[in-house]
A and B are shown apart, each in its own frame.
Chain A
Amino acid sequence: MRADIKIKVCMGPSGIATGGADVIEAFKNEINSIGKKAIIEERCSLHQVGCLGFCAKDVLVEVVVDGKKTIYEYVKPGMVSRIVKEHILEGNPVTEWIAGEEYYNFHKKQIKVVLSNCGEIDPEDINAYLAVGGYEAARMALTLMSPEEIVEVVKSSNLRGRGGAGFPTGLKWDLSLKIKSDVKYVICNGDEGDPGAFMDRSVMEGDPHSVIEGMIICAKAIGSHQGYIYVRAEYPLAVKRLQIAINQCYEAGLLGENILGTGFDFDLKIYQGAGAFVCGEATALMRSIEGKRGMPTPKLWRSAEKGLWEKPTVLNNVETFANIPRIILKGADWYSSLGTERSGGTKVFALTGKMKNAGLIEVPLGITLREIIYDIGGGIENGRAFKAVQTGGPSGGCIPAELLDIEVDYESLALVGSIMGSGGMVVLDETDCMVDIAKFFLEFTQAESCGKCIPCRVGTKRMLEILNRITVGNAKEGDIELLEELGQDIKVTSLCGLGLTAPNPVLSTIRYFRNEYEAHIKDKKCPAAVCKDLITFSILEEFCNGCGACKRACPADAIIGKRKKIHKIDPEPCIKCGTCFDVCKFNAIMKM
């Protein structure tokens, strides 16, 4: 019997982190316990759904009664019994817990293509995917379309690789199709190593079948019979759900020999990576699957000619593959009309940082940064001033306020010194120090460099050392210029994308926030008061009422003063931990 009461608990990465599993358990228990008295038990189906998108408000729970959707935010297990009792039993939604206006604004400018199933269907159930038209596109591709036709559709959809570089996907497939070989490989890149990124993870966890379907279609298009999904081992849930999905496909005849009776064979395996950022790079990833150290290899040949085990290979990102079934079903024109002239479709971003509504969003390409940050993200929290948005993760750059009206696509982001990357977007406000931000990203790339080539291995380390110098007040005149020169050279001489883009966070912050660098070097001051060695804490006499809260809290006994008398900070023992700043209720502590 089809249930007309549905309870959907967000079990995306953030949902799980905030206790989604406990909430599910609570619903199960609650419904079981009341189920004895009421008939509700039969009418309820319980789904673990993928990411519902609005992570800042997790755990999100969607309750559908007779087709009417209600969304609850910040659900804790303790709230479940009231929801079940009042809403499900009595039909009165618990209004004070219902997601507010923000939740709806968050979704207004988004267009869900890749994420359309995430949060809607149970990712561990192939029937749920089939019920929303799943594997229809694969059936079409296998039975009705020639490889050339498939490639043509993908080409004219204007879909570009979502893994970062934005290479036109149709063109990539075409190159591979044209090469004759008995053995060809299709690889899905689910390595996702950028700090703070969880776009691909959400798709693999929330809608694994769409990725598999995209790969089947690609296999048919280029004539491949073996595929790999490369997922980092740090994504155990993604691995688990993909494996469940693959097993279901084998059972349903959608993978293996003679798929859907068409005579086409395609096998698919998961390969778990050990979690190195560089293994997301195409050649390093292939070496890793071959059992070698994941180090980029020179591109004498294109992967389409000699990739994995020197055989023609198509490697695409998770999101790229997840788009394919939709493009085949709804047509290239529909997809390309969603984006701009040069880049079709939508892009998923992981929106994090200082804006109100952090979360996973999907927007049409060509949307402006301002729309993303203010309309979807709800602006900066605590009424602070926006400073910059960092796109593209460790390979990208910081974009300042005056450029917020640029359209988001591959070219325009590159033009302002950043990149689209795989879709990280970190919003920074006036309390963020740009030198510190640059240092954060460089610390990551420097440590993740595979060590093969000199500019990346040693160059990024030297850049980081200069940044360190700047943030502790030991920098010299000319250090900014040295950073720029070295950064430009690394961007030209490195072997792979990691080194070629590693200086971006530094170069772009110098480009737009040079004055902050100069303040660190010349005035030995950190304007955002972040860099510990350059700030001092002091007590403003006119605000201090001698309550002594700071003195009690200071772990270094650096505050002196009698009760009811003005207190003072002794700079000598002060370790600049900022505890006094946090505990003072009278804004008497100054940090500068």
Chain B
Amino acid sequence: MVTLTIDGKKVTVRKLSTVLDAARKLNIPIPTLCHHPELSPYGGCRLCIIEIKDLARPVTACTTFAREGMEVITTSPYLEKLRKTTLELLLSDHPNDCMVCERAGDCTLQELAYFYDIRENRFVGEKRPFIKKDENPFVERAMEKCILCGQCVRVCDEIQGVGAIDFAYRGLKTKICPPFEKDLDCEFCGQCVAVCPTGALTGKMWAQKGRQQDVRTVDTVCPYCGCGCNISLHVRRNEVIRVSSKEDTINEGWLCAKGRFGYEFIHNSDRLTKPLIRISPKEGFEFSSQSPSFNPPPGKGGNGGVRSSPLTPHNSRFKEVSWDEAFDYIAKRLKEIKDSYGPDSIGGLSSARCTNEENFLFQKFIRAVIGTNNVDHCARY
């Protein structure tokens, strides 16, 4: 452990902590654009510049280890002037179209420009153009807004292990792009979108779906797999318009492509929301007394997720039933099959979307109740 003083306050942190870590522990705000606690230190934005007693020149807090007895100053007119110059430079190469930007209100750069009150800029000059449009349905790249903090490059390499993007070119022409500046063609996990501090990388699915202030977030657990990543649903007018994840969760804010982008099923008309029983016209209306209709569930042109055209095998139809009816039917049919053909004529397939406990119960059911070892799991094949 080392003890240092920051802005006159003493703090003790673990060895190999940076001065930035120590300042955050004291809740002392130091502006940063390229720092991410889970990614390797970068030192690109130069905003976390601080002064250390007996050092000739200011240094960046994110790339300086805290040392015993260090005396740090995080703010002074001189430091704020340096930060302001850096921000002015950054904004002189930025479209400054916050009015229509997807990230307005949720953008670190915008926030810093606001706090540093940058209305007029001493610097004007060439800006980087970017016109490329990717084909993919997930990640929108507006690279003229990119501040080259490198967080996307690091998350893709260090967390996702993909390395789909990197820096190219030099000088003001430097940009982050896929190899040979082709279209983005990757896993589309969207981790890069999640860490981007500006509007350079956004989700195509939530473009123009709502501003921050009309959005409510609901914390929940991702339904896709047993990992149980914590997610936050962004809800506007009772519609989920985006999924994100917070850093202080078991999954540290990281998500996969399905968790992040695969939420359209929630409001999809094809989604099954009630139990249905398949009936063929030949079998007649066995359950008609309890269920007056076998119309497909209401929706925009859907049919309960199942095609019911004349081309469907056996010309099946579906009937909406209650859970009790559904379970009774399953129990009845399983018993019939087991009695006439034996337990090994039945097999059970379980899903990665269930929890371990659910999967355990399912195999127990197949083995102990049905009496067969024909049980498997979708993640195994």
Contact = CB atoms under 8 A, between A and B. Distances in A.
Interface of A: 276, 278, 293, 295, 297-300, 446-455, 457-462, 465, 482, 485-486, 489, 492-495
Contacts of B380: none
Contacts of B167: 293, 295, 450-452
B220 to A, nearest CB: 38
B122 interface: yes
Given A451-B148, A492-B82, A493-B49, A457 B171 contact: yes
Nearest to A459: B89
Contacts of A278: 170
Nearest to B57: A492
Given A450-B170, A452-B44, A458-B90, 5 more contacts: A278-B170, A453-B46, A462-B125, A465-B125, A495-B60
Interface in B77-107: 81-82, 85-86, 89-90, 92-93
Interface of B: 18, 41-46, 49, 57-58, 60, 62-65, 81-82, 85-86, 89-90, 92-93, 122-123, 125-126, 147-148, 150, 166-167, 169-174
A495 B46 contact: yes
Where chain A touches its partner, the secondary structure class is: helix
11 contacts: A298-B41, A298-B62, A299-B63, A452-B150, A452-B174, A458-B90, A458-B93, A458-B123, A485-B85, A489-B81, A492-B57
Given A295-B167, A300-B65, A493-B85, A454 B46 contact: yes
Contacts of A486: 85, 122-123
A130 B86 CA distance: 55
* Most B CB within 10 A of own CB, among A297, A448, A454, A465: A454
A455 B58 contact: no
A293 B169 CA distance: 10
Contacts of B64: 300
B43 A298 contact: yes
Nearest to B90: A454
Contacts of B123: 458, 462, 486
Contacts of A455: 46, 85-86, 89
Contacts of B172: 446, 449, 451, 457-458, 461
B43 A454 contact: no
A293 B92 CA distance: 26
Nearest to A450: B170
B126 A453 contact: no
Contacts of A460: 171
B125 A450 contact: no
A461 B124 CA distance: 10
A459 B82 CA distance: 12
A454 B63 contact: no
A493 B44 contact: no
Q: 8 closest A-B pairs (Cβ-Cβ)?
A: A451-B174, A298-B63, A298-B43, A458-B89, A465-B125, A489-B85, A461-B172, A493-B46
B49 to A, nearest CB: 6
A493 B171 CA distance: 17
Contacts of B125: 461-462, 465
A451 B169 contact: yes
A165 B355 CA distance: 60
Contact of A453 (B44, B166, B169): B44
A454 B82 CA distance: 12
Nearest to B16: A300
Nearest to A300: B63
Contacts of A458: 89-90, 92-93, 123, 172
Given A298-B63, A451-B148, A457 B174 contact: yes
A450 B90 CA distance: 16
Contacts of B58: 492-493
A525 B234 CA distance: 62
A451 B166 CA distance: 12
* Most A CB within 10 A of own CB, among B92, B93, B125, B150: B125
Contacts of A448: 170-171
Nearest to A469: B125
